Structure 1
Amino acid sequence: MKASWRSGWVLSLALLTLIPLWSQRITSVKAFEQSGQAIVQVLGEKVPRPQVSIWHGRYLVLDFAARLGMRRQQARFTTPVTTYLRYGWFSSNPPRVRVVVTMRGRQPYQIEAIEGGWQARVGSVSASNQTRSPDGQAKDKLATIRIECEPPKEHVGEEGSRTQIAQRDGVLPPAMRSSRGTVPTPPNPGQHRDMAMNPSGTAPREATISLDFVGAEIGDVLKALAIQSGANIVTAPDVKGTITISLNRVSVEEALHLITRLSGYRYERIENTYVVGTPKSIAEFKGSEPRTESPRAVEVLALKQAKATDVATFLNSAFPSIKIMPASEKEANYVLIEGEPATIAAAKEAVSRFETAIGAGDQIVIEVYRVRFADARDLIRILNQLVPAVSASLGPGAMLSPARMGGGISSMVPSGGDTPSATAQQMGAAMPAGTSASIGTDAQPPNLLVLMGAPHEVQRALEVLQKVDIKQPQVLIEARVMDISEASLKSLGLSWSLFQSGSVNTFDRTQPPPFPTSGTTTPNQQGARFNKDGQLGIDFTLVKKPVDFSATLNALAQDQRNRLLANPRIATLDGRSARIFIGDEVNYVKLIQQTQQGANVQTDTVQAGIILEVLPRVHEDHSITLQIKPEVSVITGFLQVPGGGSLPQLARRNADTTIRLNNGETLIIGGLIRESDIKTIQKVPLLGDLPFFGYLFRKTNTQRDRSEIVITLTVRVLE
């Protein structure tokens, strides 16, 4: 009885001894280089102080009385002072984990406690000068190995287990005598960037950081992020504003992504630096490169036959990087040039050929051509292809007016005439609210072309310009948008199947059209189908009818049940696109931020309605080919987002088709059906509001209104 009591007491003491060991667990081993020192961090749960020993002067051995919560591992750890890192189970009873660092000869080391575990520093700070990248910058390396693993199942003695694990796992060095050497050198506190590395060659993983700011400047938040993470972060001058953010244990890129997305900026990693700013500032930063001043030289070019002014004009056109200093004398026979030696040598050869051509009878002439109708940049491209021997460039002349340039026309025609004399202000006055029109155009270039070359080549270029610089026809596009009631539809016969002249095609979303949805339609087959996504229930039909159908629409417009929503007119040049928008521009709250200074509200706009993009092409017989891109959008609701904002949900229908019309013909787009329910309640005051019995004293009528929006396009060629 006494023996069993003693054995139970011994067993209890053994269990109490093993409980602390079972709670001590290693979950991560990190290795990196900092300031020339190799640093190994062993992290986990209640990690005890290791037993340290040196074997053969080059193996640093750390023994931890704890369990290993990851798989044994070995990896190269190449630094100025180390070559290899291995760790794994040394014994399972009692649990013991061994970490072995292979050093480059005898090195000083230091063991110190850190948050969550222990770290070993190998080498001295002065060793940081031994490792430099080709560009002269020191490199930091970090290895993080985090793999779950179970301890070994069997163990044979203290010495036997050493040999067995060393052969199987590569954790132990060969049997050697232990010698202790400590020459600790405290390193300078430096910043380092954690770069993840494991034996499988996976991508680096950065250390986590935490931030907590309320109403702080974005620049201060980014500065704190750079200091805490050790990353290089550059902020553009246009980054302004305040931000409130609270982050816990996130990576640098995650923090940058959240900060820039919340503040409306962008970030991009360029080599080892993160650049934060607007897209424009980042593009300018990437495009700017440090310039090195190249040597420049000054040469005096003595002229034999050519005039100094002609040579200066020639060099300005052929070598714009050269600085030309004309002689002080008016009739001097030399020119001073300054530039890079290679460019000056090429300029001297070009001047020699220039004078040789003059001596052979070939003179260089300069002509100025005033552009009348076309785009000067288009003319230069044509000359470069047809007359490459002539140098053509834009002159410094006055800018052309819109009526003389090929960049597009923005003129409106009043209701009573066909002359393109109305101004943009008249166009806006003729349009109702919610209607806009625009014409695709670029910045207008000068209306002068400078031509330089041999006389016969310049004459040939002038002949080409006379043929291509011609007046382009103008096209007047008149659109009418009508809201027609269901009764009027029946009287008009908009079943789209009763017409005897012209051509008609109709289809809905569930039935495919008998022709492609894009491309050129034949005279007996016009139409375009809107895409199937959305919930509008819209059917579109394109009809080409003569003027009698438009007259019928005019008659319907006089009915009170029908409304003429818009009647915009816009004129454009042949080959220039025109855009007509009929609808509403809805402002909505995108984001609401609460700061110490107050609420920061971000708004945005979206267009909802009818958009018509038309590209006309005029042919010799005055027929017009129209490339039409109609689009109908309706706001179906708003999606609430965290923070108080709301995003509009749009249902869109669009098509892309090409159709040919004669001058003055009308194209009709129909099939936009709109249904609305009108609910009318009639009740006796007070009694009609009673619960249950109120139904006896009130009457409810529901009326469904059905209407269709019809769009007509009439095109005319303006002479």
Structure 2
Amino acid sequence: MSCCARSAPIARAIRSALTFGLLVVALAPVLAQAQTISLNQKRIRIEALVKRVGEATERTILVPDTVRGTVSIVAKRPVSLTEAWSILESSLSLLGFSLLPSTVENWRIATVAEAAGEAPFQPNAGTDSESFVTTLIPLRSADLTDVLKVIEPLSGSRVTLVPFEATNSLIASGSERAIARLTSLVDELDHIEEESLRLRVLRYRDVAQVEPFVEGFLESGGGEDRGIQVWSDARTNSLAVRGEPEGVARVLRFLDQIDEPIEGAGSIRILRVLHRDPDEVAELIRSFADPIEGATSEAVPSATSLSGADFSIAVDGRSRSLLIRAAPEVHFAIREALEILDRRSELIAVDITVSELRTPVNYGLAFGFQLPFSSGNDPGDLFGLVDTTVALSGLQGVPTVFGSVQRDSGVSFQTTGSTGGAVTVPILQSATVAALDFEGTNEVLIQPSLIVAAGEEHEIFAGLNIPIPVTESSGITDQNVAGLSVASISRTTSFERQDIGTRLGIEVRAGREGKIQLDLEIELSTLDPTRAALAGDPTEVGPAFVERSLSVRARLDDGESAVLAMDRKQKQTRIESGVPFLRDLPGIGWLFRAKGALIEDVHLVIAARARRVSNPSELVADTIRRRIAFERMNAREATRPAAEGSPYGVRVTTRRREDDAKAIADSLALRGLATAIHRWSISGKEYFDVYVTGLDSMVDAAEVAEGLWNEGWQTDLVVFSARS
């Protein structure tokens, strides 16, 4: 007992040490985000940037002598260590280099061509007169993925965009002016999220009927909801509402009150189906009348109320409506079940490539050598050596790899030369190696890009439809020839049409979040003339074909790409080679002709990518957000004064009152900063921007923005148009 008592403090100490170690490991990513450094640099050597980031992140980076270049770093706030590392990667990429892991906490820099194994990379960063920068653009409210969808098509090939999801930021590399334009657009996309934008899809009322009610509701608010904006979309039967959160909530509550079915005293009513197939929904509701099937439904409360109920449902496919005859209490249960079952299916974009990679089984490899096994010094002595000739078996071709080496064996003999003198002839040891490779071929069989609804099955076929004889019958029939009945033999052959090619079945299952399950059924069929000959003449027995099928199930993250399956088999092809023209001579052509067989490994490669996409009603909201962002940017820049000197500046804040903007500008002017106030308006609202102007470069603007950011200002970098 005493031994155990003495060991207890030691055990507690060990547990404490282990707990502390685990705590340090768990806190490491958090500390990397918490620690920040100032990274604004004007035309800094890339070697100095690598050294600074490496010291801050405590990582060893091996820098070859070939790494040269100058970059500028722009960040309007201090950056975390993980952001600094991503900025370094983007800056190196701008110069044609890449960061690669070497060993634990050690990294090395290589060219993009070396890192990717592709053709040599030729960086084209533009002329010396155009300054290139790497900047961090933090987002306050907007979703990073949504912003990327807007600006990626506008960025061009000379701008690199890297999303940094950890801090909801975007790292952009390119010319100063291109980055400044993108920064302005990103800021506007970020600002429109400050006001709530909500979408309401109507189920029971038509949007054209509801829109006048909404206008009357806003006008009756006594100016309280004057800033609310409402858009209608007849295609999706939806309303988009934007404004202050309280006002938007009031409008949505009003829509909930009026988007109700018109209740009457009759037994026949009509309900709309928005998302699912109306026939499928009708069949599900009919099954609720069965107590056993209704108990297993996802709409259990409503199904229980419908158990044994007397009702009938007719489907109108054109209007996607259900015509229902039932008692009033049964109508309520059916409507409740419909609202539960009629949920929107997720839309998934699926990109699939099915290809066949063929590579030869055998490669050409040969070697030869010369080795002496006897020697002599007199002309009459015998000497010998083993001599082999390098020859590549198989198809003729120029060796891809060829090497030869020789050395003096120390064995020689003398003979009499033409002048009568003695001539020493050395015997050399030599070896030769030659190799011949073959190029593989990759044939894309099918490459569809689809947008499918989760839970639905889809099928695609690419190929031919050929007739195949399946049955044959014969008999004697009577025919009327010149008034006489003549017996004749008839023969009947029945054909079936057969698809030969690639058939792809797709089924996707996904919720609003989480993994995307992708089920693929692949069937490949090809004609095989070698097998057809085994059964007889193909013109009589029909063609033969080979079928292969493969089933794949994968669970992918949103936007993830993966190689799903590889199927290996061998394919034999008979080949014939020879001397042109001579091989076709009658009688002796076989002397100049050779036949053989090429055996290839055939790999079936299936690559797939799945990602969620917005449904039509969400696309309406996305379109409205983008339109508002461009309208704000155009309204702001249309009246903004042009720069008389340097075009770079900082937007410190935007105010609704002019006296507030003047007070802020005066306080900044006391620090020695050049300031300006810009008045602009949109949608009947007037705004006042406060700017710091006259900054020589974007890096200088970022330094001012960083200092103001640390004081609590939400700053933005801007580039004023030049005065003509």
| TM norm structure 1 | 0.29
* Larger-gyration structure (1/2): 1
More helix by share: 2
Bigger relative CO (Cα 8 Å, ≥ 6 apart)? 2
